[in-house]
Amino acid sequence: MKRREFVAASAAAAGTSLLGLDAMAETLAKRRFSPSDELNVGVIGVGSRGKYMMQLFLRIPGVRVTALCDVYEPRFAEGCEITGEDTPAYHDYRQMLDSASDLDAVIVASPLSFHGEHMVGSLEHGLHVYGEKAMGFTVDDCNAIVGATRESGRRLQTGLQYRYAPWYREAIQRIRSGEIGHVTHVYGYWHRNYNWRRPVPDPSLERLINWRLYKEYSGGLLAELGSHQIDIANWIFDEEPTSVIGTGGITFYHDGRETFDNVQAVFSYPSGGTHVFSSIIGNHNVGYQINIYGTGGSVKLTLEDGAFYYEPARANSAVPQELIERGVHTSATLSTSGDMPYRGPGLQIEIPEGEAGNPSFLAAAAFVRSVRNGTRPFADAQVGWKSAVAVALGNEAIRGKRYVEFADHLESKE
Amino acid sequence: MDKDGQGRASPSSVVSDQSSVGSTGYQLDGVLARRAALLALLFSSGIASTPCSAAPDSLFHEARPAMGTTVEILLYASTRDRAAELFEAAFQEIERVEAALSTYRSTSEISRINTTAAHRPVVTDPEVFGLIARALEYGRRTGSAFDVTVGPLMKAWGFFLGDGHYPSADDLSEARAKVGWQHVALDSAQRTIRFLTPGLELDLGGIGKGFALDCAARVLRRHGVDSALLGAGQSSYMAIGAPPEARGWPIIVPSPHNPARALSTIQLRDRSLSTSGSNRQYFEVEGQRYSHIIDPRTAEPVTGMVQVTVIAPTATDSDALSTALFVLGREGAAALIEGMEGSAALLVIDDGGEKEIVAIQWTERVALMDK
């Protein structure tokens, strides 16, 4: 939006504002956004995810990407290939926040350990934030992001895009209505078979490009993959976990990496729910799936679809009289049928024509709508907090192969 | 593979290309075509993976199902681990492009455009917009021989799911009403796409595989790869550089009616090659053989053309051109290719009478056909 317009808009709004006119509010007022206007977006972290998200944002009417920030020079040319223009480049996010006065929002897609600094800094500069998951690296980061979101009055949406996937919404609405009975367990898997490395042009760039493999920057598989599954479990149970038991290790790739190449964590929920999460990157068999178990049935959700499965009927049923006339057989063989896995088809979740969509695109579009209409994002900072804190504490458990009670670590929670 | 990079064509089957006829190229007679271009690379028995930077790079190969076919990549890398990372990066790029362009995925960008653009202009990102613009430009340059909206005609002729059938007059006229690249309106300032006719659908099947290969090749180059070959189901190849000490990656265009024999062997280097053929996909009605390639101008399957191989600077171009030339026929193909720098084509024609090969700007040797 044009500077003159938002100064005028902020002057008009000042009279009715409930906020005090301190320095912070003044900064924020300068960023006031007009719904009908163009939305200018900056990108902090123009790596694979940042590039992907900015391309999706460019499919939304009125959105322009007007600033790119990264510490790795080749990313600027790659980013400009996506914007199709000579987008201004910044090597320091502070410089971008100070200089790029036309920005309305930022996409934060930097390595996890920088999320807190980048998101809080952007919010304090009056920018709306689409912040990649996991929202924060530490509990303190997560608290700071929630606080800065509240104080800034800006929108923060966390990159938990499956909240916007039509088949997830449909499934969870039906689960909530009791379709599979009382839901007690969620088994989440994200298994792959590759080493999770990106090619590195020079060994000196290893930690920059493969930051996911180093504990200084990364929460490993639980953060990069498990944060989604944790969020889905939180959504299903409608609460957040209070304890976790974890384990894991480096089993497949002894290449100097620090984050585990397989992790297992069991999260307990206050109302009795359990979420078992597993990620293995040396075998692809189960891929990505979330199995939701209720007393009356199950749901399987994948990255592209979902299906309901119903438990076999157990009720008494009428039996033909000839059963008595025929007699029942005795045998030493244990019947396995009751313990064999269900192998039939499920009842696919149908998405009405025209409502399907790429979850990340739908999430981006919803974020822009929230910014324009001033509404709270569905995947807001609280949702991000619940997933990211569980990741941080889950990693405590996994690395120590132990039990972690959340209450012991959340004294500082607001 | 053979280290000198030479193809496997039998010397006795290869003739000199001196028999040029007129400005449209070469005409050699007596041909039936049977197969798409065939990659004839033989692997050396031991693919080394010694992690020693001083050692020469070794050749690695990986194939994965993608884009409704098998995508394969050959590349030279120092170690097996390095090759694995490069393969992963390239295949992830192909998956990214497929996820955006596939009409079989309800979550793709093309599906979003197809379900919305008849109702209102749809904003899309510069990459997808650019590709659609390029596809429509091929529609213009080929006089509609290449048309990204041809889908309804393909369906009417039963080429999507079945083996093909002659459609009823009603089905055909209904389908024709939904076809025409001219009915796609682009606004490059707003980056919007709008369908001016209801029922229109974009299907980038004739250009998207090539585009994905170009994107994956760009990723490999970005990672420092200077010798690789990327292929999609034998119908399109993109070459980065050449194997060590070779002129190029040897690609054999087989004789359509005798696949064991080479029609021509190309040393492909920093260029792309695509083949369209009707030998494997066709149906017959009263002795007339119909290919699975529709001429959007007549709404009928092409007859008479058996195989088209095109060389072009990018796989996006060669992919679109191979379909376009198949439809255009000899004269139209020559006029189009001769105006395009760095392009060449080899056509195999069998229109019931003369069977012939037409070579347009084709600099490699072409074999004479079996009579």
Is B126 part of the contact surface with chain A (CB cutoff 8 Å)? yes
Q: What SS3 state is found at B129?
A: helix
More confident residue, B3 or A304: A304
Q: B82, B105, B116, B125: which to substitute to probe chain A, counting the most A Cβ within 10 Å?
A: B125
Do B112 and A357 count as a contact with CB atoms less than 8 A apart?
yes
Tokens representing residue B181 in the block: 């690249």
DSSP single-letter state for residue A75: H
Residue of chain A whose alpha carbon sits nearest to that of B119: A354
Check residue B36 and give its pLDDT: 34
> What is d(CA B309, CA B66) in angstroms, rounded to the nearest whole number?
22
Is A354 part of the contact surface with chain B (CB cutoff 8 Å)? yes
* Chain A residues close to B190, C-beta within 8 Å: 61
Where do the H-state alpha helices sit in chain B? 80-101, 109-116, 126-141, 151-156, 169-176, 208-222, 315-338
Is B80 part of the contact surface with chain A (CB cutoff 8 Å)? no
Which candidate from A84, A198, A356 shows the least CB-CB separation from B126? A84
What average pLDDT does the structure give for chain B?
A: 83
DSSP H or E run through A297: strand A297-301
Q: B75, B93, B107, B220: which to substitute to probe chain A, counting the most A Cβ within 10 Å?
A: B107
Is B55 part of the contact surface with chain A (CB cutoff 8 Å)? no
B57-61, B179-183, B283-287: which range is least confident on average? B283-287
More confident residue, A281 or B12: A281
Do A194 and B82 count as a contact with CB atoms less than 8 A apart?
no
Which candidate from A56, A60, A83 shows the least CB-CB separation from B126? A83
Check residue B1 and give its pLDDT: 37
Strand order in the sheet with A105-108: A89-90, A63-69, A39-44, A105-108, A128-131, A156-158
Cis peptide upstream of residue B335 (ω within 30 degrees of 0): no
Encode pLDDT of B88-129 as tens digits. Answer: 999 999 999 999 999 999 999 999 999 999 999 999 999 999
More confident residue, A49 or B48: A49
Where residue B256 falls among pLDDT bands split at 50, 70, 90?
confident
**Which amino acid does the sequence have at B209?**
K
Encode pLDDT of B201-225 as tens digits. Answer: 999 989 999 999 999 999 999 999 9
Please identify which residue in the block is written with the tokens 């041809």.
Answer: B150
Residue of chain B whose alpha carbon sits nearest to that of A199: B85
Where residue B367 falls among pLDDT bands split at 50, 70, 90?
confident
Contacts of B312 (CB under 8 A, 6+ apart): B271, B272, B273, B274, B318, B321, B340, B342, B343
| Chain A (34-63) residues lying within 8 Å, Cβ to Cβ, of chain B | 52, 55-56, 58-61
Do A58 and B85 count as a contact with CB atoms less than 8 A apart?
no
The CA distance from A180 to the nearest CA of chain B, in Å, is 27
Do B191 and A201 count as a contact with CB atoms less than 8 A apart?
no
Residue of chain B whose alpha carbon sits nearest to that of A53: B125
Q: A87, A358, A360, A362: which to substitute to probe chain B, counting the most B Cβ within 10 Å?
A: A358
Asked whether A49 and A132 are in contact (CB, 8 A), the reply is yes
Is B186 part of the contact surface with chain A (CB cutoff 8 Å)? no
The CA distance from B51 to the nearest CA of chain A, in Å, is 13
Is B188 part of the contact surface with chain A (CB cutoff 8 Å)? no
Is B84 part of the contact surface with chain A (CB cutoff 8 Å)? yes
Tens digit of pLDDT at every position of chain A (414 positions): 444 343 334 434 443 333 334 555 555 555 544 445 789 999 999 999 999 999 999 999 999 999 999 999 999 999 999 999 999 999 999 999 999 999 999 999 999 999 999 999 999 999 999 999 999 999 999 999 999 999 999 999 999 999 999 999 999 999 999 999 999 999 999 999 999 999 999 999 999 999 999 999 999 999 999 999 999 999 999 999 999 999 999 999 999 999 999 999 999 999 999 999 999 999 999 999 999 999 999 999 999 999 999 876 655 556 667 777 887 777 776 667 677 788 778 899 998 877 889 999 999 999 999 999 999 999 999 999 999 999 999 999 999 999 999 999 997 544
Q: B106, B114, B187: which to substitute to probe chain A, counting the most A Cβ within 10 Å?
A: B106
The CA distance from A84 to the nearest CA of chain B, in Å, is 6
Taking only Cα atoms into account, the Rg of chain B, rounded to an integer number of angstroms, comes to: 21
Contacts of A124 (CB under 8 A, 6+ apart): A24, A27, A148, A152
Q: What SS3 state is found at A309?
A: strand
The CA distance from B133 to the nearest CA of chain A, in Å, is 14
DSSP single-letter state for residue B296: T
Do A58 and B88 count as a contact with CB atoms less than 8 A apart?
no
Cis peptide upstream of residue A134 (ω within 30 degrees of 0): yes
Contacts of B24 (CB under 8 A, 6+ apart): B330, B331, B334, B338, B358, B360
Do B126 and A351 count as a contact with CB atoms less than 8 A apart?
no
Residue range B80-87: mean pLDDT, rounded:
94
Residue of chain A whose alpha carbon sits nearest to that of B123: A59
- Note the pTM of the prediction, 2 decimals: 0.85
Check residue B289 and give its pLDDT: 65
B320 class by beta-carbon count within 10 Å (0-12 exposed, 13-18 middle, 19+ buried): buried
Do A195 and B84 count as a contact with CB atoms less than 8 A apart?
yes
Is B99 part of the contact surface with chain A (CB cutoff 8 Å)? yes
More confident residue, B50 or A107: A107
Which candidate from B115, B125, B224 shows the least CB-CB separation from A55? B125
Asked whether B273 and B266 are in contact (CB, 8 A), the reply is yes
Is B85 part of the contact surface with chain A (CB cutoff 8 Å)? yes
The CA distance from A61 to the nearest CA of chain B, in Å, is 6
Tokens representing residue A77 in the block: 């040319």
Check residue A265 and give its pLDDT: 98
Check residue A87 and give its pLDDT: 98
Do B127 and A197 count as a contact with CB atoms less than 8 A apart?
no
Check whether B7 has a pLDDT greater than 50: no
Task: Return left, alpha or beta for B48; rule: phi > 0 is left, psi -120 to 50 is alpha, else beta.
Answer: beta
Asked whether A42 and B108 are in contact (CB, 8 A), the reply is no
Residue of chain A whose alpha carbon sits nearest to that of B124: A59
Check residue A299 and give its pLDDT: 97
Contacts of A213 (CB under 8 A, 6+ apart): A196, A197, A257, A258, A259
**Count of beta carbons in the 10 Å neighbourhood of residue B300:** 15
